[in-house]
Amino acid sequence: MMRYYRRYLQVLLRVLPIAFALLRDRRRFVLFGPSRRVSDSVHRERAERLTRIMLDLGPAFVKVGQVLSTRPDIVPPTYVETFATLQDEVPEDIGGDPFTVLEAELGDAIDLETVEPIAGGSLAFVYTAVYEGERIALKVRRPDLVPVIERDLRVIQGLVPLIALFADESQQYSLENVADDFESIILDELDFERESAMMTELRGNFEDNERVVIPQVYPELCSDRVVAMEYVEGEKVTDEEALAAAGVDGTEMATLIARTYLQMGLVDGVFHADPHPGNLSVTPDGRLVIYDYGMSQRLTEQEQADLTSLYRALVRRDVDELVRTLVALEVLDPSVDRNAVRRVLEMVIENLEGRTDITWRTIITDLFGRLREFPFRIPPNVMLLVRVGTVGEGVCRNLDPTFDFLETTRSFLVDHGFLEREFQVLLEDLQRDLRESAPVVAGLPARADSVLDRLERGELVVRTDPVDARTRDAVIRELGYAVLTSAFVVASALLTFHDRAYEIVGLAAALVFFLCYVRSRRARTRSR
């Protein structure tokens, strides 16, 4: 217990100066006084200091920083961007020497003299070794890491209530379960048996895809501290020379990466959540290799359906579906004022209209930035999906600076039947509008005749409420369309007695004005 308190005090003292500065931003004299304005450069400097502190504090805090880089509901955009640069660079002596694990668990199965280290991270090292005449890869967890991680997670659990005391009201909902979210993600990444099972399942999902390589697992060598897998060589996916040698251009590889991860999330329900350049390689024959499955996750069928709805709503700019989906994904509290949220999301959609530089990061930053005034949080699965989108898109735009993530998503949704083709959407909208408006239009001739009779007798009195100019113009336009529709319907009925098929021309004109009426009425209804 004394080790816990010493660690708690150590962490507290390291972050206290920055915490004190953030408190002074809200109240100049900490407990009272006006807020103070701080420039973006100052916030960026603080975020960089926090990043260095997390690296010094060890792997648990590195992982927390990586998680916070996908939590704009908790930290401001400047900190999100800076934390996104956190890599698994921690002192090698933390958690012990992974080679001792190899000696203890695989000393009899592999030739230890053939073992060569090729990579190291905050949680594990990766080696190659010869097994049954072939070179394989071994991901080995640091031997003494679990007690260190568990202690630091308890420290984080103890710090969160203290942070919550000074958090904004809008952040309280986000902070309710944040420590549990951290613990769930980090402990999952420490579970190497889970990781090997995820790799095996993902490999099965892509066994028919010749462009994607997921290394084969050797289950007889795997344990809770070791993942043994096929050794697949490749160059970093952002290496232009490697791509050129493989005969693959940047746009082709970017599209392959995007569609691969969309398939994982929307079709298979099991996804790799850490697509940074160090985990993606290209083989000499142009295939995509994916490494390191510690940060992988599984979606329920309902989460898959909700995620599909989210992408569909963004692609189609459907505000109503977007609100429903955010509540279903538990991003928004069910009790939230949906009309207020709808107005905010309409502003987000308006900002997207007409822009050619739309990115997933832009959408997420704008969306979550505007939602900060409401009680919202990002659940672990959604958080990992946000990470996949932002990190993956960064890789894709590195390969192709003009890469259009939304257009690629639209194409994928159409190809897999998640999004109806535009003509089909138009027909469905038209059918719905016809059902809603046909009874009104059908009764217009009789109503118009009644109104004209009363006008002729001088009995017509019109009472109106004050309306703005746009609404008045829209109503007048709709009335004009309705009258013209009725006139052509009546004219067509009379022309049916003529020898020539003039009524077809009349009905065609009636249909044109009827569609104009429907569109105008629908646009006015949506703008209310």
Q: What is the pLDDT of residues 477-504, one digit of tens each?
A: 777 777 787 777 777 766 665 566 666 7
Give the gyration radius of the chain's Cα atoms.
30
346 near 371, Cβ under 8 Å? no
Q: State how far the Cα of 516 lies from the Cα of 510, in Å rounded to an integer.
A: 10
Higher pLDDT, 203 or 68: 203
**What HEC string does 170-210 produce?**
HHHHHHCCHHHHHHHHHHHHHCHHHHHHHHHHHHHHCCCCC
95-143+191-231 has which fold? Phosphorylase Kinase; domain 1 (3.30.200)
* pLDDT tens-place string over residues 246-295: 999 999 999 999 999 999 999 999 999 989 888 999 999 999 999 999 88
Structure confidence at residue 449 as a pLDDT band (50, 70, 90): low
502 near 494, Cβ under 8 Å? no
Q: State how far the Cα of 127 lies from the Cα of 373, in Å rounded to an integer.
A: 48
33 near 325, Cβ under 8 Å? no
399 near 251, Cβ under 8 Å? yes
Closest by CA to 283, choosing from 214, 181, 205, is: 214
Average pLDDT, the chain: 82
Higher pLDDT, 266 or 26: 266
Count CB-CB contacts under 10 A for residue 493: 13
Strand (E) or helix (H) holding 460: none
Answer yes or no: is pLDDT of 212 > 80.
yes
**Cβ-proximal residues to 59 (8 Å cutoff; 6+ apart), any chain:** 88, 90, 94, 95, 122, 123, 145, 148, 149
Closest by CA to 416, choosing from 240, 263, 276, is: 263
* pLDDT tens-place string over residues 65-75: 888 887 777 78
Answer yes or no: is pLDDT of 298 > 70.
yes
* pLDDT tens-place string over residues 224-245: 999 999 999 999 999 999 999 9
Q: State how far the Cα of 308 lies from the Cα of 471, in Å rounded to an integer.
A: 36
Helix or strand or coil: residue 117? strand
Handedness of CA 341, 346, 348, 349 (dihedral sign): positive
Helix or strand or coil: residue 213? strand
**Is 193 buried (19+), middle (13-18) or exposed (0-12) by CB count in 10 A?**
middle
Helix or strand or coil: residue 372? coil
Q: State how far the Cα of 265 lies from the Cα of 271, in Å rounded to an integer.
A: 6
Q: State how far the Cα of 388 lies from the Cα of 464, in Å rounded to an integer.
A: 54
pLDDT the model gives residue 423 = 46
Question: pTM for the whole thing?
Answer: 0.72
pLDDT the model gives residue 2 = 80
* pLDDT tens-place string over residues 37-54: 888 888 899 999 999 998
442 near 517, Cβ under 8 Å? no
- The fraction of the chain above a pLDDT of 90, given in percent, is 28
**Backbone phi, psi, residue 519, to 5°:** -60, -45
Average pLDDT of the segment spanning 108-123: 87
Higher pLDDT, 259 or 29: 259
Q: State how far the Cα of 26 lies from the Cα of 29, in Å rounded to an integer.
A: 9
Higher pLDDT, 450 or 180: 180
pLDDT the model gives residue 173 = 65
pLDDT the model gives residue 334 = 85
pLDDT the model gives residue 467 = 52
